[in-house]
Structures are given as C-alpha cells and as structure tokens.
Amino acid sequence: MDSIVVQVRMPHKIIEVIDTLVKQGYFKNRSEALIDAARHLVLAMTPPSEIGRFVQDGLRKRVSYQKVDEKELDLLWKKVRTGTEWQDRYGKTPEEVMAVLRGRK
C-alpha cells in the first residue's frame, strides 16, 4: 500500500495517551495508532452501502428476517455476488477481507 507523509500538530495529552498505548503493546508505533484512528473515523463517517445498511439493521434487530421479501433478498445477494463495491472496500480474497475486518489493513 502506498503511503503519504502527513505532518500533524496534536495536543500533547493525546500524544501521551498514544505513547502509553504503544508502550502497552496495542500498537507498534505512533503511526500505526494514528492510521487506526483515521481508518475508524473514515469508516464511521462513510455512509454504508445498501448491503451494509441491511447488515447493520439486521445486527441491530431492526429487520425481521421472516418478513424479508424473497425477491428483495435474491436481489441483495445478486448484488453481493456480482458487485464490486464490497470487494473494492474489503478486498477480493478471504485473507484481504479478514485483514480489513481485523483492522490490519
């Protein structure tokens, strides 16, 4: 993955907390901690796709799986099988998907 150097001024107290997390072994270094924080921000601020909303609603028990229209479900699975949106976001191989889900990519 290509990287770009970004210089950022941050409050001293935030850096102290990041340094503590690094010392505790949560991150290898400050850069890894800041990349993880930025990735979480981007994921939180990016609106979910139609499939993502469906999964989120299901996880939050907003969807009754018994009441889902079979045609709607077939259309959704067709998008998953043939679409590239999720592959662009999570990767094409199981290893790439798991790396993203585990926060290592």
Q: What is the DSSP letter of 28?
A: S
CA distance 16 to 33: 12
Band (pLDDT 50/70/90 cuts) for residue 23 is: very high
DSSP symbol at 48: P
Q: Is the pLDDT of residue 81 over 60?
A: yes
- For residue 47, pLDDT over 90 is answered with no
The predicted pLDDT at position 83 comes to: 73
pLDDT, mean over the chain: 82
Rounded to 10°, the helix 12-23/30-45 angle is 110
Residue spans of the domains in the chain: they are: 1-46, 48-105
Instruction: Classify 103 in phi/psi space as left (phi over 0), alpha (psi -120 to 50) or beta.
Output: left
Identify the DSSP state of 33: H
